[in-house]
Structure 1
């Protein structure tokens, strides 16, 4: 039963996985199509680079036309590498182990030899028996036996010491087990130089041959290890062909070395072609997977804009990739990775830009054969530029980031050039190209961002700076038609941007969102208190229900106007959420006085609620600014109490439930609001007028 239930569970789990996968695929069909299209854009040039027109050529064939390298390529010449390894292996000396015990054995053998000889000669045997013993001792060498039959014992001891001296020198030099005959020959040569009778020399030679032993024993395993170590230490013989080099001239017979180059370039079909295909596919999939994960995790991406964001990413990567292929023909220092980093940063965020830049750099290293030092230089300098852009408040910051990134790139390029001992002209070109890459990339990025901002209606930093200009058309119109609302929006923007900066939210987005949050009031400006200066209150002539309708409709009117003016969705969100689903309290209570059955829900805004910290801050700032005007003789305690009441009412009403704002954030927002309002309500001390001023 357990086995069956577990099996059933697995089936259901598998079905759920498949169902979820199908739902995910359907909900993300457009982004997936865009990613697949991007993969095609990337893979096709890679295949063209690695698999040009294939030729059926082999060693000895005549080249039908001139073949030029279409890219830099380096490959290991296996045959030449093995030849080099063999030459080095042959130079390795055999390894011998010194056996010190052998020296003692040899000297003991010499002592025993002469001791035995002395014993025979000093015995009291008769002459015949002594001769028989000497013949046996010298293995029937009658010449030596007869010569030493009457030799004095003292003379034998001299021969003993002489041989020990010769053996000592031989053993000290080392007697190799595989070359004992050469060592013996050296001993014989030493004996031959002695001033002795031939029979005496024969004695020493006989004794040497009987006693000498090797003290250096050949170690086969240690020798093999040394040979292997030397072979492994040999650097591979790398053949490098530069892009544009003529590999084979037309009509020339193709050599074995040229066949290797053509295989490395992919001109000749090989059995390993499938490995390159698999590598290209794997590199591309890894890049797209990492990038898509980074995009999905980006703070600026949500289900509502995932298609737009994926399209932006596909366009950016496609343009940069195609440009990279062309610029690499001039210099690898011109590959526009900085442009990619700046564009992804502008349309997404720093973590996404960092991930995409790193992944794209490694992807480009495959078809463009970018060397590690160049990749390092470009990546580090791009990160420097992105760090500078994080606090961007002006368009000029892009150029500043380009200049600083370019200087960083130039410095690293100079270091690489000098350490690689390149000629001065090439070093100068690399330094110049590195700087141009970043400065030019920042200028091109500004142009592309401007175009894509308006094409996709994006709220990038540059677009926000453009919309945040108080001379922007909608803001000028707001100032003209609803000057009170305009002033209210300016104060709200100050409150919101200061609070956003304090809690680490996007202060620029909060400021610009606050500028436009009330643009819907331009349709009926005099229905709102801030625009009723010097005129009667129009609501005195209207029913509470009608007044409520006009007041609530300013949100819908604002959304309509924002869409008509093609404001980014991020700005429209401020208009839609700045009242959330709060109640128009004044008219609700006024209506309830005459109709006790009135429903509070009829006097609520339709929402939606704020979805992020920036829109939540503007909601609070809008309410705080409006209520601040009702505080008489404002001081710190009164303002703090008023701000606290607004925040508590919004929290208790659930208006902040869908935003990611925390209670810690709310405490800091309150503190920021109080400080900002105190500075706004600050009044001068009154001073006694002088007589001159009173009279004049």
Structure 2
């Protein structure tokens, strides 16, 4: 059990690794993967390829679409003829004729006029009157359904409302009844109603039946026949044969045995990719590797991108470039650094290469986008920088896509602008990174540059309280922040993190501000009425009080680390010496800070900055040489006490920090160069 406890961190990472690998393999499609990569217009790089089985040659999507369009163009629509309306009109003719043409009806030519009207009415309803106009050519053949019978006629034989009016006027004008035109028009206006309409359901059903019969293949390839020879250009029928073979290979039904072998293959490849990520963290980012929460965060982001992309490929592969994969390096750079962001991005793209179509093209585009993301984004907390970076990422996507299209097609006329639009949408989706970073901060307890920028605002509630209760401490914190930030910039540490840590490192002094020199007035010292041990306890307790205040105000753990470590395990030497003067049996532990010692470059820089800035107030008549000696003495003493043993700062970097301190203090005290006499 003791051994398990010691290795619990490694056990957790092993379980995380196994679970992540299992989940990725589980969502992957389990079909076979075609083992050959080929590109239109490029020579076949492998040996002669022979058909492993019989398969049909698939038509291109364009050819299938053209065949369907031709069928749709030549399809015969179905129209319904309502005989009830026609018969009702014919039956009502006599009565309507008598009421509208009474004078003519009673004349000697009344029977002839009736016959003229009936003939015209029969001609009108020979093929019927349309309820609405349709976008068919007049010569287009149609089927006219009259009850259970269908008659093939041309669309132009059906009357529209305009044609009906023209027909009535023409027939009356050319007859002996022209002077009764108004009466005849009123007659037919009362009688005639549209009785022909398009049967959309039957028409579409018939069309769909014809479309379903469209062949998606043209010819076949027999087993063992040669498909393509080595060096032969992949184009035309050869390209279609290869595409057909790939599709047939990946879609064929696999046996249980083959299925398990495919799962084993995927498991090995995915595990290797994730293992490389963990080994990278262990070798080059040990602090991240040792933090289980941060490792979980990185693996979680990889899983999210893999799952989202795989689902898009499964349900709508055309939308694959809308998935904002560039969010991954942006997020990781915000919390860690560029190298972690880029390496994780590359590993994720390699994993996705197993499932995406055109894997080489996809991998190239995404890796280029990841590199552009890392190179272009700086100070991500500035919104303008993010917009510029997204613009550059989208531009590179589009340029790379057009370049691939030129290689494949040899012209720009067939560029799919919908895909270009997808790249733009993917770029806009990348702007979600800011709210995503905020959510991750709350969920995983991480701190980004955006939060650090907010915390560095001296008008924040906690810093305003510090300036009110302990103005001397607040001023000291500002000086330490400036010095520490310059030192961090010099050695490539996180300057924003150091600055924020410096601003809050002494907030514990608000509990007893007058017991600290920088807040005391000239009237007296609060320690004069206390024993050395009591004074030391008050001084030491400002670290504990600071941690309590920070937690109460919900400061991030990374900032609280600066409060804990800014004195390390050093001794309150003044009161320790004072106690030794009256007590030989004094315990040094009663005068030591609880620690821990600094464990990063940033916390080590703050410890040095705090000590140097505080002690510099005791300098009288400072000179350049005096400041140099003073800085060397303080930092060398901390090194001798082993305060920096747990931090990853080097001797060279400490020397660089010393130079910055000397330069800064010289500027603060407005010293001139000392000239020899």
Q: TM-score range by the shorter chain?
A: 0.5 to 0.7
Structure 2 counterpart of 1:281: 267
Distance 1:589 1:419, change over 3 A: same
Q: What is the CA–CA distance in structure 1 between the aligned matches of 2:286 and 2:456, rounded to whole Å? A: 19
Structure 1 counterpart of 2:525: 537
Question: Aligned to 1:561, which of 530, 541, 549?
Answer: 549
Structure 2 counterpart of 1:310: 295
Structure 2 counterpart of 1:33: 15
Superposition deviation, residue 623 in structure 1: 0.7
| Residues 456-511 of structure 1: CA deviation (Å, up to 9, x unaligned) | 22123233223222233322222222222111111101111111111222212211
Are 1:639 and 2:621 counterparts?
no
| Residues 183-219 of structure 1: CA deviation (Å, up to 9, x unaligned) | xxxxxxxxxxxxxxxxxxxxxxxxxxxxxxxxxxxxx
Distance 1:656 1:395, change over 3 A: farther
Q: How does 1:571-582 map to 2 (within 5 A)?
A: 571-582=559-570
Distance 1:453 1:297, change over 3 A: farther
Are 1:431 and 2:420 counterparts?
yes
Question: Aligned to 1:508, which of 475, 479, 496?
Answer: 496
Q: Is contact 2:289-2:295 (8 Å) kept? A: no
Structure 1 counterpart of 2:225: 82
Q: Could you tell me the TM-score, scaled by structure 2's length?
A: 0.65
Are 1:474 and 2:462 counterparts?
yes
Structure 1 counterpart of 2:216: none
Structure 2 counterpart of 1:484: 472
Structure 2 counterpart of 1:147: none
Q: How many residues align?
A: 482
Stretches of structure 2 lacking an aligned partner (at least 5 in a row): 34-53, 57-208, 210-219, 673-677
Structure 2 counterpart of 1:217: none
Superposition deviation, residue 398 in structure 1: 3.2
Deviates more, 1:359-368 or 1:527-536: 527-536
Question: Aligned to 2:282, which of 296, 308, 321?
Answer: 296
Distance 1:444 1:506, change over 3 A: same
Q: What is the CA–CA distance in structure 2 between the aligned matches of 1:320 and 1:34, rounded to whole Å? A: 17
Q: What is the CA–CA distance in structure 1 between the aligned matches of 2:249 and 2:255, rounded to whole Å? A: 7
Stretches of structure 1 lacking an aligned partner (at least 5 in a row): 1-18, 52-57, 61-65, 67-76, 86-230, 243-256, 685-696
Distance 1:533 1:327, change over 3 A: farther
Structure 1 counterpart of 2:137: none
Q: Is contact 1:612-1:658 (8 Å) kept? A: yes
Superposition deviation, residue 427 in structure 1: 4.0
Structural RMSD (CA): 3.3
Q: Is contact 1:290-1:355 (8 Å) kept? A: no
Distance 1:355 1:637, change over 3 A: same
Question: Aligned to 2:435, which of 447, 459, 478?
Answer: 447
Superposition deviation, residue 352 in structure 1: 2.3
Q: What is the CA–CA distance in structure 1 between the aligned matches of 2:253 and 2:19, rounded to whole Å? A: 27
Question: Aligned to 1:497, which of 470, 481, 485?
Answer: 485
Q: How does 1:174-213 map to 2 (within 5 A)?
A: none
Q: What is the CA–CA distance in structure 2 between the aligned matches of 1:572 and 1:631, rounded to whole Å? A: 30
Structure 1 counterpart of 2:179: none
Q: Is contact 1:519-1:558 (8 Å) kept? A: yes
Q: What is the CA–CA distance in structure 2 between the aligned matches of 1:511 and 1:240, rounded to whole Å? A: 64
Q: What is the CA–CA distance in structure 1 between the aligned matches of 2:221 and 2:298, rounded to whole Å? A: 43
Q: Is contact 1:577-1:615 (8 Å) kept? A: yes
3-state SS in 2 of match to 1:633? coil
Distance 1:445 1:424, change over 3 A: farther
Q: How does 1:403-442 map to 2 (within 5 A)?
A: 403-421=391-409, 424=413, 426-441=415-430
Q: What is the CA–CA distance in structure 2 between the aligned matches of 1:655 and 1:397, rounded to whole Å? A: 39
Q: What is the CA–CA distance in structure 2 between the aligned matches of 1:323 and 1:374, rounded to whole Å? A: 15
Q: What is the CA–CA distance in structure 1 between the aligned matches of 2:530 and 2:493, rounded to whole Å? A: 41
Q: What is the CA–CA distance in structure 1 between the aligned matches of 2:528 and 2:31, rounded to whole Å? A: 78
Are 1:591 and 2:579 counterparts?
yes
Question: Aligned to 2:26, which of 44, 59, 83?
Answer: 44
Are 1:601 and 2:589 counterparts?
yes
3-state SS in 2 of match to 1:650? helix
Q: What is the CA–CA distance in structure 2 between the aligned matches of 1:464 and 1:503, rounded to whole Å? A: 20
